[in-house]
């Protein structure tokens, strides 16, 4: 349980106002400390917020006789590659975020809400006996699928906790940071120093794609559990799932088109740059969450998404830089772009679209383990 938060800042200057903000956002159960030296930190039941890179921080802890395995820390204004899975861009993140980070780092279940008579938290493997007790009272319910045998259910639960609870948040931070650096750090070699240009660039490139990314991670392709209890045929369920998926993709593309049209109207850049941006946005918009269970197909899907998302964001930034500066595409670059789309992006897109279709068929049945594409 989180009891202490240490703000250990070594390289960045922070004012008293920022420290007062974090104090105001803590509850009575959590203490705040501002140590001058790492020796003052007690790592038990504590979360450390620091601007020191993780490897350096753990070496300092070991040098002071601390066990580096006990270190539970989040980076403050740190960069990708400096080791931390979770970061704080400001100290005004709120106690809920700090509790979530601590839960992820310790493997404890995150408490969503708690009252005198009710506790809502994430599931743990220790809950399985009670879960079996509940399901034993539902054996005569026609539309409720029973649990697996204990060993298989235990493995399923472990995989779900490992792969679904916060698994994609570090990647999201990496993607946002890289794209932001590329745009505002002039990494593409063009001038984006005007305030208007930066606002347009953020609206057209960052927000729509990140919106699609967050949306797909939060909305599984399957129906809610209550819908599986309804007496619906498999074809009716499939229509509902397809409709739900199409609506989500349509919503993603509506946001992407709106941002791109706004950028095109204000910059008057060549139309083909914006069509390339929309193509990349469409690639992201069809994504679905990965299954919790480890399979070869799931691994391939994760590799595809983890590579394609940064590639799409970087390409969109480059495309928009050219549109913003009203650059005409040269024949050599046109051939390279067409070759990359035709030989790399399009075949992979078609493969992943096939995987989505398979997931839709599988989602017709609650928690099925059958890969329908191998059966049909």
Q: What is the pTM of this model?
A: 0.51
Please indicate, yes or no, whether residues 365 and 350 belong to a single structural domain of this protein: yes
Please indicate, yes or no, whether residues 157 and 239 belong to a single structural domain of this protein: no
* DSSP H or E run through 310: helix 296-324
* Res. 333: pLDDT tops 90: no
Q: How far apart are CA 116 and CA 108, in angstroms?
A: 21
* Res. 181: pLDDT tops 60: no
For residue 144, being part of any structural domain is answered with yes
For residue 304, being part of any structural domain is answered with yes
Per-residue model confidence as pLDDT tens digits over 246-291 = 998 999 899 888 888 887 777 777 788 889 989 988 998 888 887 6
Please indicate, yes or no, whether residues 237 and 371 belong to a single structural domain of this protein: yes
For residue 143, being part of any structural domain is answered with yes
DSSP secondary structure letter of residue 147: P
Burial-class residue 284 by CB neighbours within 10 Å (0-12, 13-18, 19+).
buried
Owning domain of residue 349:
168-375
Please indicate, yes or no, whether residues 96 and 228 belong to a single structural domain of this protein: no
Please indicate, yes or no, whether residues 44 and 148 belong to a single structural domain of this protein: no
Backbone phi, psi, residue 4, to 5°: -135, 145
Please indicate, yes or no, whether residues 217 and 324 belong to a single structural domain of this protein: yes
Please indicate, yes or no, whether residues 141 and 232 belong to a single structural domain of this protein: no
SS3 188: coil
CB atoms within 10 A of CB 26: 14
In the chain, pLDDT over 70 holds for what percent of residues? Answer: 80
- Which residue reads 């399957």 in tokens? 222
Q: Calculate the CA dihedral of residues 7, 11, 14, 19 and round it to 10 degrees.
A: 0
**How far from 186 is each of 60, 87, 174, 244, 281, CA to CA, in Å?**
35, 24, 18, 39, 22
Please indicate, yes or no, whether residues 200 and 278 belong to a single structural domain of this protein: yes
Number of domains in the chain: 3
For residue 116, being part of any structural domain is answered with no
> When comparing pLDDT for 176 and 198, which is higher?
198
Please indicate, yes or no, whether residues 314 and 252 belong to a single structural domain of this protein: yes
Question: 263 and 204 in contact (C-beta within 8 Å)?
Answer: yes
pLDDT at 78: 66
Question: 310 and 178 in contact (C-beta within 8 Å)?
Answer: yes
Please indicate, yes or no, whether residues 265 and 288 belong to a single structural domain of this protein: yes
For residue 117, being part of any structural domain is answered with no
For residue 47, being part of any structural domain is answered with yes
Q: CATH no. for residue 26?
A: 3.40.50
pLDDT at 339: 92
Per-residue model confidence as pLDDT tens digits over 290-319 = 766 666 777 888 888 888 888 887 888 788
Please indicate, yes or no, whether residues 307 and 228 belong to a single structural domain of this protein: yes
For residue 287, being part of any structural domain is answered with yes
Please indicate, yes or no, whether residues 155 and 269 belong to a single structural domain of this protein: no
Per-residue model confidence as pLDDT tens digits over 195-240 = 555 566 666 667 787 788 788 877 777 777 667 777 777 788 888 8
């Amino acid at each position: 349980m989180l009891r202490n938060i240490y703000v250990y800042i070594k390289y960045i200057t922070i004012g008293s106002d920022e420290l007062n903000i974090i104090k105001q956002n803590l509850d009575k159960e959590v203490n705040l400390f501002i140590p001058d030296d790492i020796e003052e930190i007690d790592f038990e039941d504590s979360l450390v917020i620091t601007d020191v890179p993780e490897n350096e921080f753990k070496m300092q802890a070991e040098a002071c006789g601390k066990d580096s395995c006990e270190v539970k820390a989040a980076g403050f204004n740190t960069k990708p590659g400096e080791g931390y899975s979770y970061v704080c861009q400001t100290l005004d993140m709120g106690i809920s975020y700090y509790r979530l980070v601590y839960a992820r780092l310790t493997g404890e279940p995150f408490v969503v809400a708690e009252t005198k008579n009710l506790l809502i938290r994430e599931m743990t493997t220790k809950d399985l006996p009670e879960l079996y007790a509940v399901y034993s009272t539902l054996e005569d319910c026609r539309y409720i699928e029973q649990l697996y045998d204990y060993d298989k259910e235990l493995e399923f639960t472990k995989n779900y906790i490992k792969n679904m609870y916060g698994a994609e948040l570090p990647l999201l931070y990496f993607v946002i940071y890289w794209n932001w650096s590329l745009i505002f750090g002039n990494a593409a070699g063009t001038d984006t120093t005007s305030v208007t240009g930066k606002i347009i660039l953020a609206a057209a490139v960052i927000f729509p794609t990140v919106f699609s990314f967050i949306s797909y991670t939060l909305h599984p392709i399957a129906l809610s559990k209550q819908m599986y209890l309804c007496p619906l045929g498999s074809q009716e369920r499939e229509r509902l799932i397809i409709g739900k998926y199409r609506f989500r993709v349509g919503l993603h593309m509506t946001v992407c088109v709106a941002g791109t049209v706004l950028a095109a109207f204000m910059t008057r850049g060549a139309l083909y740059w914006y069509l390339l941006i929309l193509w990349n946005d469409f690639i992201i918009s069809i994504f679905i969450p990965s299954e919790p269970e480890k399979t070869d197909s799931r691994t391939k899907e994760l590799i595809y998404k983890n590579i394609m998302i940064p590639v799409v964001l970087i390409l969109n930034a480059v495309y928009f830089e050219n549109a913003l500066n009203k650059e005409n595409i040269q024949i050599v670059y046109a051939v390279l772009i067409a070759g990359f789309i035709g030989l790399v992006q399009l075949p992979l897109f078609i493969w992943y679209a096939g995987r989505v279709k398979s997931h839709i068929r599988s989602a017709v049945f609650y928690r099925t383990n059958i890969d329908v594409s191998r059966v049909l």
